[in-house]
Amino acid sequence: MQNFVFHNPTRILFGEGQIAAIGPEIPSGARVLITYGGGSVVKTGTLAEVKAALGETDYLEFGGIEPNPTYETLMQAVELARREKVDFLLAVGGGSVIDGTKFIAAAIPFEGEPWDILAKQAPITSAVPFGSVLTLPATGSEMNAGSVITRRATHDKLAFIHPLVFPRFSVLDPTKTYTLPPRQVANGIVDAFVHIAEQYLTYPADAKVQDRFAEGLLLTLIEEGPKALAEPENYAVRANLMWTATLALNGLIGAGVPQDWATHMVGHEITALHGLDHAQTLAVVLPAMLQVRRFDKRGKLLQYAERVWGLRDGDVDARIGAAIERTRDFFESLQVPTRLSGYGIGAEAIPPLVDQLERHGMTALGERQDVDLARSRQVLELAL
C-alpha cells in the first residue's frame, strides 16, 4: 500500500427531508447565490424547498448551468456574484451544477484570467465557501474537491482539483432522484462504476481494505442499478445507489492505491468534440481500454473477474475476456451504448480526437503513464 493522507471535510446530511436542515449549515448573515441547471429543480419543487429552508437568509439565483458546464455560462455567475458581493454558494442539482459551482467559488476571488485555473493549473489561494443539494447520483462531486469544465469556444474540457473547493456540506435525499429520466439514472450508474474501476483496475498494491470496498460498491451497482430503472420510487434502492456514487469518488477507495483515469481523459475529448454525455463516453472507452491493456492489468482483471463477476473456472485469458464482456453487457443492459457507432461516430472522428489528446498533453496516461497517443488511438479504433 502506498503512503497517503486522507482528509474529507464535507459534512453529509443523508435521507428524506434533510433539505429542511440546511439553515444552520449556512453562516449567519451570509449573502447566498443559489446555482442550478436547466429548471428541473424548479418543476419538481426542490428549489422551492431549498428556499423555504433558507428562511430569512438573503439569497440570489443563477440558473442555466449546462450538463458539461461551460466556462462561458459560469463566468456570468462569477460576474453576478462579484457585483452582488456574494459570500456563500449553494448548488442545487447534479454533478455538473456542483462542478460548475466549484469553479465559480474559485473564480470569484481569483485575480487574473480564471480559465488559467484549468488551462495552466494556476494556484488558488482562496475560494467562496459552498454547500450542495444533490439531485443526481453520479459524479461524487458532492463529496470531493474536483471539477471538470468545458470551454465551448475552443472545445476544451479540463479539470482542476483543490481542497478549498470541497463542499462544506451536501444534502443527499434519495427521494429527489425519483423523477429523474431513465437516461440520467443509467448514466449515473455507469459514471459511478467507471469511477470505481479507475481506482481499482490497475495493479495489485496489497490494499485489501480498498479492494474490498471497491468490489462491494461495484457489486451494489450491479445489483441495484437495474432495480433503480425498474422501480424508480424504491427508496432503499435509490438510497443505496446515491451513497454508492458518493463513496465511489470521495477519496476513500483511492487512498493508498495506484489510479488510472485514462478512460476519463479520452472520454473528455469525445464529449468536447461530439457532445456525448460524460457517462456515455466512459461506457464506450472502458471496455476497449481494458481490452488493449489486459496484459498490464492482468492481476487485477483476474481478481475483478472472480470477486465481482464470479468467474473462477477455465483459462486465465478467457476469464479476463469474459469479465470485460460482462462489463460491456452490464452497460448495454442499462441502455447505454458501448460503441462509438452507437452514437453515429465513425473512424473519421479518431484523428481529431487523438490531436485533442496531444494538444492537452494527454500523452502519458494511466497508472504507469504508458498510455501514449498510439495506444489511445488503438483504444478508439477498438471502440468503433
Is there a single domain that holds both residue 205 and residue 96? Answer: no
Is there a single domain that holds both residue 145 and residue 234? Answer: no
* Cα-Cα end-to-end distance for the chain: 37
Is there a single domain that holds both residue 108 and residue 222? Answer: no
Please work out, in degrees rounded to the nearest 5, the angle formed at the alpha carbon of residue 232 by the alpha carbons of 230 and 237.
Answer: 90
Residue 264's φ and ψ, nearest 5 degrees, are -65, -40
DSSP for 125-174 reads -----EEEEE-S-SS-GGGSSEEEEEETTTTEEEEEE-GGGS-SEEEE-G
Is there a single domain that holds both residue 130 and residue 35? Answer: yes
Tell me if 124 is assigned to some domain: yes
Is there a single domain that holds both residue 206 and residue 122? Answer: no
Is there a single domain that holds both residue 239 and residue 168? Answer: no
User: How many independent structural domains does the chain possess?
Assistant: 2
- As a whole number of angstroms, the distance between CA 384 and CA 369 comes to 24
Tell me if 1 is assigned to some domain: no
Mean pLDDT of all residues in 94-107: 98
Tell me if 236 is assigned to some domain: yes
Q: What is the CATH number of the domain that holds 219?
A: 1.20.1090.10
Q: What is the CATH number of the domain that holds 115?
A: 3.40.50.1970
Q: Which residues pair with 58 in a beta bridge?
A: 31
Crossing angle of helices 278-292/373-382, nearest 10°?
110
* Residue 258, pLDDT above cutoff 90: yes
Mean pLDDT of all residues in 250-263: 98
Predicted confidence at residue 381, as pLDDT, reads: 98
Tell me if 52 is assigned to some domain: yes
Beta-sheet pairing, 88-93 with 130-134: parallel
Average pLDDT, the chain: 97
Predicted confidence at residue 208, as pLDDT, reads: 98
Is there a single domain that holds both residue 232 and residue 310? Answer: yes
Tell me if 255 is assigned to some domain: yes
Helix (H, G, I), strand (E, B) or coil at 286: helix
Residue 122's φ and ψ, nearest 5 degrees, are -60, 140
Tell me if 6 is assigned to some domain: no
Tell me how far CA of residue 324 lies from CA of 192, 330, 331, in angstroms.
17, 10, 11
Beta-sheet pairing, 146-151 with 156-161: antiparallel
**pTM for this model (two decimals):** 0.97
Is there a single domain that holds both residue 201 and residue 82? Answer: no
Is there a single domain that holds both residue 280 and residue 168? Answer: no
Percent of the chain residues topping a pLDDT of 70: 100
Beta-sheet pairing, 146-151 with 130-134: unpaired
Predicted confidence at residue 39, as pLDDT, reads: 86
Is there a single domain that holds both residue 128 and residue 269? Answer: no
Is there a single domain that holds both residue 202 and residue 312? Answer: yes
Among the candidates 157, 176, 195, a domain finishes at 176
Is there a single domain that holds both residue 121 and residue 53? Answer: yes
Contacts of 59 (CB under 8 A, 6+ apart): 31, 32, 33, 34, 51, 90
Which residue range(s) make up the domain with 114?
Answer: 11-176
Q: Give 318-333 pLDDT, tens digit per residue.
A: 999 999 999 999 999 9
Q: Give 54-92 pLDDT, tens digit per residue.
A: 999 999 999 999 999 999 999 999 999 999 999 999 999
Among the candidates 176, 202, 234, a domain finishes at 176
* Residue 19, pLDDT above cutoff 90: yes
Mean pLDDT of all residues in 139-155: 96
Among the candidates 176, 202, 228, a domain finishes at 176
Tell me if 2 is assigned to some domain: no
Q: Give 120-139 pLDDT, tens digit per residue.
A: 999 999 999 999 999 999 99
Predicted confidence at residue 79, as pLDDT, reads: 98
Tell me if 85 is assigned to some domain: yes
